[in-house]
Chain A
Amino acid sequence: MKFSLVVYSAPYSSPGAYSAYRFAQACLQSGHQIYRVFFYGNGVQTGSCLSTPQQDEFDLHGAWQQLAQEHQLDLVVCIAAALKRGVLDQKEQQRYQKSAANLAPEFELSGLGQLADAAAQSDRLLTFA
């Protein structure tokens, strides 16, 4: 089955952020496909490569990066939600003349059309708030 996940919660802020990752992992281990993971609302924070958890805490951002590399996942961060929350790639950093970019290479900034497309193309769509 083709799954898409929509993640609204920021890492370390509410349980949905970690649940989404665990679900993605279980999904892939069971032989299903993940069509897209769409990070929206506060979920866009997942894309920041500046995330620095404590030594004894789970590195959720790093875990997503690794899963994405292993399975060629399409991790999309909603551009409108990301910009206002301070998650930018180099293109947006230059466009808005900001001091830094922080989007990790495994993630891509894109529009809500990607969410609509994921809903249209997937067998199942799950939201994690």
Chain B
Amino acid sequence: MASMASTSTTQSDSTPEPAATATRSTLVVCRHSCFSSSLAREGLDAILASAAFEQPLAILFMGDGVWQLQKQQDGSIVQQKTPSNSLPILPMYGVERFYAQHSALEQRGLQADSLVLPVKPIRDAEIGILRQEFDTILSF
């Protein structure tokens, strides 16, 4: 498990203090492309919030979710923010483990070495093994 960098965070008035003793590791599964659903953007916001709570996190891009990794996307022409632009900052929040479903990359003609973020391609049979490492799965 990658070690978590300690981050100083400001929390909004409405969020409670996190319980000091509870640490659960979470695998976040991203299944939607940047502009096909609000879940891509909203998933990223949730990842940033979870990372600020210093909970161990890893991200798996599956199916159409691998499109989030494609370079040079620009949502401004459809009046949307571009989630893929924010992905490279995740390591600064202590999120260091990124996986992408190998078959999904291949089907979409995406090369693992030319994405916005370095990811570890993972075969379908290995996904089940990966999931077992984590206490919680959060799917977007």
Contacts and interface: CB of A to CB of B under 8 A. Distances in A.
A91 to B, nearest CB: 10
A15 to B, nearest CB: 16
A111 B15 contact: yes
Interface string A32-50: 0000000011100000000
B55 A120 contact: yes
Given A120-B22, A120-B23, A81 B16 contact: no
A42 B32 CA distance: 15
B53 A113 contact: yes
Contact of A80 (B18, B22, B45, B52): B45
B53 A116 contact: yes
A110 B24 contact: no
A120 B15 CA distance: 14
A101 interface: no
A114 B136 contact: no
B42 A120 contact: no
Interface in B1-19: 11-12, 14-16, 18-19
Pick from A6, A40, A112, A122 the residue with the most CB of B within 10 Å.
A112
Interface residues of B, number: 27
A81 B16 CA distance: 19
Nearest to B26: A119
Interface string B26-66: 10000000000011001001101110110100000000000
Contacts of A52: none
Interface in A69-92: 79-81
Contact of A112 (B16, B26, B39, B49): B49
Nearest to A112: B49
Contacts of A40: 42, 46
Given A113-B12, A113-B15, A127-B139, 5 more contacts: A113-B18, A114-B15, A114-B16, A116-B18, A120-B22
Interface of A: 6, 8, 40-42, 79-81, 109-117, 119-122, 124-125, 127, 129
Q: Which 5 A/B pairs are nearest by Cβ-Cβ distance?
A: A113-B15, A112-B49, A116-B50, A116-B53, A120-B22
